[in-house]
Structure 1
Amino acid sequence: MHSDQEQKLREKIGRMLADGLQTQTEPFPENDTQFGQLLTQLRDIDAKDLKAKLVLSGFTNSPYGEDRMRCQECMYYLVHRKWCDLPELALPVEPDWWCRLWRI
């Protein structure tokens, strides 16, 4: 995907979230087993079903929780590309967004 395509998709995701897309922010996976189950569910979603990916992964367009977690501090976030490098997501993201697959 080229950077202009990534930017357009990032803007589309931003609009979906700003328009009030209800996502599943809870439960947050507390261990590797729960994290793996969530990844398995994501793999079962059609790769082109953006809405389902966002809903299941619990995307928000702002930092989340008491610790104000955000994509920028996640181990899967590629700073210079503004990209989530988790294979099951592989989406352009903003640094202040968050999802429940967040990890340090």
Structure 2
Amino acid sequence: MTAGSDQELRSQIVTLLNSGLATDVFPRADTHEDVQEFVNELRAAGNDLKSKLRLAGFTLYPVDHGGIEQLCETCMYYKVHRRYCELPELNVPVEPDWSCRLWRI
């Protein structure tokens, strides 16, 4: 995927979320079991972007959970220079201040 297509996909994500796509922001993936459950759901969604965004609980803003501000930029799956989530089941370009319920330190 090229930087141009990454930006196009980011724009598509923004459009979907701003147009009212409901996402499962809570519950967050607080335990290993939660992570496994959400990852299995993402695998089942395949390449369906809307389903992936909904299941991952994407937001265009940081989410405060348990006193921790959870944003892509501080997640272990975030690739800084590409602005990208490398969690294999997501594998989408993101912005640093977005969030999802699979956030990990």
**2:51 matched residue in structure 1:** 52
Q: Distance in 2 between matches of 1:88 and 1:44?
A: 9
Identity, % of aligned pairs?
Answer: 46
**1:16 matched residue in structure 2:** 16
Is the CA contact 2:29–2:103 (under 8 Å) kept in the aligned structure 1? Answer: no
2:63 corresponds to 1:64: yes
Q: Distance in 1 between matches of 2:21 and 2:58?
A: 9
TM-score (norm 1): 0.94
TM-score (norm 2): 0.93
Deviation at 1:68, TM superposition (A): 2.6
Deviation at 1:18, TM superposition (A): 1.7
Deviation at 1:20, TM superposition (A): 2.2
Any gaps of 5 or more consecutive residues in structure 1? none
Q: Distance in 2 between matches of 1:46 and 1:67?
A: 30
Q: How many residues align?
A: 103
Amino acid at match of 1:5: S
Any gaps of 5 or more consecutive residues in structure 2? none
Q: Distance in 2 between matches of 1:92 and 1:36?
A: 22
Q: Distance in 2 between matches of 1:45 and 1:69?
A: 24
**1:27 matched residue in structure 2:** 27
Deviation readout 1:1-53 (Å, 9 max, x if unpaired): 11101110011101111222210011112211111111011101121x10000
Task: Find runs of 4+ consecutive structure 1 residues off by over 6 angstroms.
Answer: none
Q: Distance in 2 between matches of 1:4 and 1:50?
A: 18
Deviation readout 1:72-93 (Å, 9 max, x if unpaired): 0000000100000000000000
**2:96 matched residue in structure 1:** 95
**1:86 matched residue in structure 2:** 87
Q: Distance in 2 between matches of 1:62 and 1:39?
A: 21
